[in-house]
Chains A and B, each alone.
Chain A
């Protein structure tokens, strides 16, 4: 049977748009990568596309002399590791109890948790609370406020719902208590759901900058990579847009780091995520769908 002409037209549209999506997504990253490896004086001439014109590693060398970069890196790694682990433990424990249909507080806790997805106090009451709890200026402010996320709990719960309950029943007959069942039976079976949630948590922790800005902006020992990058990138915008203000210009230019260095920091901040996400793809696609369907 001959294909209708329409099918050929569709085919052309499909492949052209897929090409466009690929280019639009990848080009900016490749461009940034190329600039980061290009000599910073040469970069000013413009015209770098996806390949460095004068290859150098100097930009990357320079980054690590910046105040705040090393601390930022350490704190970012630390908050990602601790935040992810803490979030996984709290999320999976809650999810396990909520998956138990015989749990007497199940309905109440589910509703209590689901509410938080729709209402929140907002910026200022949240800030006041952190202040009253004396969390401002501490590392804990990166971990505690985001410890339990309703969405993550529901993702894990819907996964546990899919496991046969008979497993738990037979363990119970063997004399296992609920905690043992959770720790020895449910948790090892939950790996796919845990991988999804771990990715969400880790990305969230690694990428966040606003809590640093809000709570630890003046505390140099608790700075994060994203916050350092934010400061450096924002310094351009102000200088570029203040160009009519020529008195300040020279002084500002001295503070602003070269384009290539900025792009090198951008790459450093981005690379860890680029390494993990393709490997976890099969998990998060499932997790997203489950979470969306059930919540």
Chain B
């Protein structure tokens, strides 16, 4: 008996304590609760929309009156031959983007770090960010212009060097598309992605280089044995994070660089959802595509994290 009252007393005290804490921090609550509600509405409510994928969704009809169809939309999706084409494109461009978008910035950071003329280093770095700040609309316009058959610098250069004898229609051939998207991405984001690596390099202790120099290591060997291991944790964390976003790489590039002649190579999952889901009003089917995309991304994230944890003792979770 005695213990019960003690517990009750304790619980009562705790609730009182909690309320007093909230009262004391009322300003902190005022400053955060509106935004928490906002996050709930704009970020979490769409997740509720996932239920659409299991319904025969009709807009404007209340949730309780929707007709539930189970996995029908997923079955339709997996039986659609077009889906596999789109999945292939998504995976191909994501993987190419992952490999290139990961190797090139590391390489760029390593080389930029070796530039000993400070003013030149700053200049190259500033210039390298430039494309990151322009929109994909502008970038796509510029890339299309550079690759065009009339007056595009790439064709002019290749013609001038007699590598080809007639201009290549880069933007009109499907087999060029994946390469163009990947290069465009590398062109746009290399300088930006390199910032984190450069910061990591700056954090490596100078005594390590000193020791390597005393041991007679050339600068190339210093890069290999000091700089690269020094940024290894950063590289791995960024790699895992980019694997998590593998299928979520979006569709801006594909939307803006693609055209109907290369559609068999340019259509990705999100575009498929846009065209079939919104374009044709098949909301439920489109949502099923979105869900498939998210689930695969999560599986990849956990898989990548697990693999790296096992082999390198580095992980983000």
What is the bound-complex CA distance between A289 and B49, given in angstroms? Answer: 35
| 17 extra A-B contacts, CB within 8 A, seeds A93-B35, A148-B35 | A15-B115, A18-B115, A46-B156, A98-B32, A118-B301, A121-B45, A122-B270, A123-B286, A128-B46, A133-B41, A144-B38, A179-B30, A203-B133, A207-B133, A226-B135, A240-B148, A241-B172
What is the bound-complex CA distance between A144 and B38, given in angstroms? Answer: 9
Q: Contact flags (1/0) for B121-139 with A, using CB distance below 8 Å?
A: 0011011111101111110
Which of B7-15, B91-99, B252-260, B307-315 is the interface stretch?
A: B252-260
Does the CB pair B286–A209 fall under 8 Å? no
CB proximity of B29 to chain A, nearest CB, Å: 7
Residues on B facing A (Cβ under 8 Å)? 18, 21-22, 25, 27-32, 35-36, 38-39, 41-50, 52, 59, 108, 111-112, 114-115, 120, 123-124, 126-131, 133-138, 140-146, 148, 150-151, 153, 156, 171-172, 187, 190-192, 195-196, 199, 218-221, 223, 238, 244, 252, 256, 259-261, 270, 273-274, 277-278, 283, 286-287, 290-291, 293-294, 298, 301
Does the CB pair A124–B287 fall under 8 Å? yes
A residues 135-186 in Cβ contact with B at 8 Å: 144-145, 147-148, 177-179, 182
What is the bound-complex CA distance between A28 and B184, given in angstroms? Answer: 12
Q: What residues on B are CB-neighbors of A273 within 8 Å?
A: 133-134
CB proximity of A76 to chain B, nearest CB, Å: 11
Does the CB pair B187–A25 fall under 8 Å? yes
Q: What residues on B are CB-neighbors of A123 within 8 Å?
A: 270, 273-274, 277-278, 286, 290
Q: What residues on A are CB-neighbors of B199 within 8 Å?
A: 285, 288-289
Residue of A nearest to B121 (CB): A18
Given contacts A113-B39, A116-B43, contact A274 B133 (CB under 8 A): yes
What is the bound-complex CA distance between A285 and B112, given in angstroms? Answer: 15
CB proximity of A208 to chain B, nearest CB, Å: 7
Q: Does A261 count as interface, using CB distance less than 8 angstroms? A: no
Given contacts A24-B187, A27-B153, A124-B52, contact A288 B195 (CB under 8 A): yes
CB proximity of A294 to chain B, nearest CB, Å: 12
Given contacts A25-B127, A103-B25, contact A97 B32 (CB under 8 A): yes
What is the bound-complex CA distance between A128 and B124, given in angstroms? Answer: 45
Does the CB pair B191–A178 fall under 8 Å? no
A residues 1-41 in Cβ contact with B at 8 Å: 4, 6-7, 9-11, 13-15, 17-18, 21-22, 24-29, 31-32, 35
CB proximity of B299 to chain A, nearest CB, Å: 13
What is the bound-complex CA distance between A104 and B26, given in angstroms? Answer: 11
What is the bound-complex CA distance between A7 and B129, given in angstroms? Answer: 28
Q: What residues on A are CB-neighbors of B286 within 8 Å?
A: 123-124
Partner of B42, one of A22, A26, A119, A147: A147
Partner of B27, one of A98, A109, A178, A226: A178
Does the CB pair A226–B29 fall under 8 Å? no
Does the CB pair A104–B111 fall under 8 Å? no
Interface residues on A, range: 35 or more
CB proximity of B240 to chain A, nearest CB, Å: 12
What is the bound-complex CA distance between A43 and B143, given in angstroms? Answer: 17
What is the bound-complex CA distance between A233 and B144, given in angstroms? Answer: 9
Residue of A nearest to B297 (CB): A118
Residue of B nearest to A13 (CB): B111
Given contacts A25-B131, A31-B146, A129-B46, contact A112 B36 (CB under 8 A): yes
Does the CB pair B32–A18 fall under 8 Å? no
What is the bound-complex CA distance between A144 and B39, given in angstroms? Answer: 10
Q: What residues on A are CB-neighbors of B301 within 8 Å?
A: 118
Partner of A125, one of B131, B153, B218, B290: B290
Q: What residues on B are CB-neighbors of A182 within 8 Å?
A: 27, 31
Q: What residues on A are CB-neighbors of B148 within 8 Å?
A: 240
Does the CB pair B290–A112 fall under 8 Å? no
Residue of A nearest to B124 (CB): A18
Q: What residues on A are CB-neighbors of B156 within 8 Å?
A: 46-47
Does the CB pair A129–B49 fall under 8 Å? yes
26 residue pairs bridging A and B, Cβ less than 8 Å apart: A6-B218, A10-B219, A14-B111, A21-B190, A24-B187, A25-B187, A29-B142, A105-B32, A116-B44, A119-B47, A119-B298, A120-B47, A123-B277, A124-B278, A124-B287, A125-B49, A125-B287, A129-B41, A144-B38, A147-B42, A207-B133, A207-B135, A233-B140, A241-B260, A266-B138, A270-B138
